[in-house]
């Protein structure tokens, strides 16, 4: 039987800005998808208008496929946490969510090996060192 990773979810909370109270839960995406997403986000600010539209469409798809839940409403009705719900939002809003999501995913803390101890002082550090003798080759 093989090992299977549990799905990681990120709960994004927005406080003290225009999106105060917004809560978005998204799943972690693969390294390949994260790399693609970073390239797409970068291209939105540096390419032609036509390329930007294509990049934005793909960003919306990636986010829509990764959404688990959010508390977004439109005209008093809940907006579905999927690609169709993402596509009815404005670009500034979606890019803010994507930036927060990417920041969370990139802020990875690797667990340290718990078997390591203080270990005390190394013997090599306590060996007296003398300057080397002058070279005889001069």
With respect to residue 78, please indicate whether it lies within any of the assigned structural domains. yes
pTM of structure: 0.73
> Distances in Å between the alpha carbon of 110 and those of 33, 35, 113, 114?
20, 19, 9, 12
Which of the residue ranges 27-36, 94-103, 129-138 would you say has the lowest mean pLDDT? 129-138
With respect to residue 77, please indicate whether it lies within any of the assigned structural domains. yes
Angle at 134 between CA 133 and CA 138, to 5 degrees: 155
Query: Across residues 47-71, what is the average pLDDT?
Result: 91
Q: Is the pLDDT of residue 46 over 90?
A: no
Domain boundaries, position 78: 30-108
With respect to residue 65, please indicate whether it lies within any of the assigned structural domains. yes
Question: What confidence tier does 53 reach under pLDDT thresholds 50, 70, 90?
Answer: confident
With respect to residue 54, please indicate whether it lies within any of the assigned structural domains. yes
Angle at 121 between CA 115 and CA 127, to 5 degrees: 140
With respect to residue 21, please indicate whether it lies within any of the assigned structural domains. no
Q: Give CA–CA dist 92/58, Å, rounded.
A: 15
Question: What confidence tier does 37 reach under pLDDT thresholds 50, 70, 90?
Answer: very high
- Quote the number of domains for the chain: 1
Q: Give CA–CA dist 6/29, Å, rounded.
A: 12
């Amino acid at each position: 039987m093989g090992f299977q990773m549990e799905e990681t979810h990120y709960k994004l909370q927005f406080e003290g800005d225009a999106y105060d109270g917004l809560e978005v839960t998204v799943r972690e995406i693969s390294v390949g998808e994260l790399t693609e997403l970073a390239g797409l986000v970068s291209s939105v600010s540096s390419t032609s208008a036509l390329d930007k539209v294509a990049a934005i469409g793909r960003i919306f798809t990636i986010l829509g496929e990764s959404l688990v839940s959010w508390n977004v409403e439109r005209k008093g009705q809940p907006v579905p946490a999927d690609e169709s719900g993402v596509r009815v939002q404005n670009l500034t809003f979606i890019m803010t969510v994507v930036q927060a999501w990417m920041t969370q995913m990139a802020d990875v803390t690797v667990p340290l090996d718990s078997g390591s101890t203080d270990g005390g002082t190394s013997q090599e550090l306590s060996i007296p060192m003398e300057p080397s003798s002058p070279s005889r080759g001069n």
